[in-house]
Amino acid sequence: MAILGRQGSGKGTQSLRIAESYGCVHVSTGDMLRAAVAAGTDLGRQASEVMEAGGLVGDDIMNGIVAERLAEPDIEAAGVLLDGFPRTSDQADALQQILADLGHRLTIAINIDVPVQEVTQRMMARGRSDDTEEAISRRLALYEEQTAPLRDWFSERGLLVTVDGLGAESQVFDRVSAAIDDRLQ
């Protein structure tokens, strides 16, 4: 499974609930990169500048990290929820190949849909210093630019399910799990 959603869409929270409820491993490439930066590894050193500038770490690096992680035995046993990967259509192509090599395939891409106006309000309400209206709108525009082709990629393959992300966390989770159950039947 893969999950998509704007910043402020509640994607992180829903990911944790999905992993808990379906017993799969939650793999967040953002978390992996932040851990590498904190640990000062080679990868962390390569990634930190790009991440600070809000850019994307190169596909070769990302595909390598994900291929390695997905080959680990916990995922073989439990399955995986990918969060933050793929980010580009090239990464999606690579993922398909990585999964095929492991004898797996993608089952569903869940798109948590919360309108731009609502996520902007949610992020403003957090009051973080980097959450000025201008910075938020820049990040959201970048997300749109990067993710629109990816939504098409999943959609063309019949994998995309868009879930209304408005409402209480548990309401949204009910919609998400209904979509997954429908697909896994």
Query: Has 87 been annotated as catalytic?
Result: yes
26, β-bridge pairs:
81
Measured from the CB atom, is 30 or 79 closer to ligand AMP?
30
Task: Give me the residue whose beta carbon is nearest to ligand AMP.
Answer: 30
Spot the catalytic one: 17, 45, 122, 128: 128
157 is a catalytic site residue:
no
Q: How far is the CB of 84 from ligand AMP (least distance, A)?
A: 3
Question: Footprint of ligand AMP on this chain (CB under 6 A)?
Answer: 29-30, 33, 50-51, 54-57, 62, 84-85, 87, 91
Q: How far apart are CA 174 and CA 165, in angstroms?
A: 11
Q: What is the DSSP string of 7-32?
A: TTSSHHHHHHHHHHHHT-EEEEHHHH
Nearest distance from C-beta of residue 185 to ligand AMP, angstroms: 29
Question: 66: closest CA among 19, 114, 30?
Answer: 30
Q: Which two tokens stand for residue 24?
A: 């799969």
Catalytic (active site) residue 138:
no
Catalytic residues: 11, 87, 126, 128, 139
